[in-house]
Chain A
């Protein structure tokens, strides 16, 4: 069965500090990995996906198949990055997501 874990429920960092939100997954095949973000009073929105290998809002994530991880990183956190972050796995195109429990990132001034 597929599973996504995010070990930190809450992560607090100071503005300008580096941030890393951890995500590990279990799946025997080759999944697609995503990060979704939900800002206060807004809907869930896609932040980035591993196949596009791009940086969005300064965030990057690299899929490490050996460690089955897809950690989200940003070198300098901003206050507007405060939000709930969900790591998600998709088995195949068009299939549903399996979400992790989410990590609430709080960037302090």
Chain B
């Protein structure tokens, strides 16, 4: 089992461009979470999918960020247009169910650099 995978591992773009990050959760995991750590700050929650539905998107910073999870499998996070302050590491995590013992498994992260 590869675990949670994310693509790309690193992306460098210019301000104003568009970037799409992808996350493949562990097979069978209905819950998928996006987090990010911007420079010098703590890891912050962005949103939570249960299958293809957005359960909680309270952490999305603004409407430049769009997350999708078509078919309830992989998820994409698009930033359009990217700004300098979007630079950071974007993590994805998945869990099997929303029960007491559920564990969130994290992906390796995508490092986004906006120039």
Contacts and interface: CB of A to CB of B under 8 A. Distances in A.
Given A44-B91, A46-B103, A95 B42 contact: no
A99 B59 CA distance: 13
B98 to A, nearest CB: 2
B107 interface: yes
Interface residues of B, number: 27
A97 B93 CA distance: 11
Interface in B80-111: 91, 93, 95, 97-100, 102-104, 106-109
Given A44-B91, A46-B103, A51-B100, A97 B108 contact: no
A97 to B, nearest CB: 7
A51 to B, nearest CB: 7
Contact of B48 (A4, A96, A100): A96
A43 B9 CA distance: 12
A78 to B, nearest CB: 23
Nearest to B45: A96
Nearest to B55: A94
B64 interface: no
B42 A96 contact: no
B58 to A, nearest CB: 9
By secondary structure, the A interface counts as: loop
A73 B45 CA distance: 27
A101 B43 CA distance: 7
A102 B40 CA distance: 10
A96 B104 CA distance: 9
Nearest to A6: B42
A13 interface: no
A98 interface: yes
A43 B59 CA distance: 22
B109 to A, nearest CB: 7
B56 interface: yes
A96 B49 CA distance: 11
Interface of A: 4, 36, 43-46, 51, 86, 93-102
Nearest first, the 8 closest Cβ-Cβ pairs linking A and B are: A94-B98, A96-B45, A44-B106, A99-B43, A101-B42, A43-B108, A99-B42, A43-B106
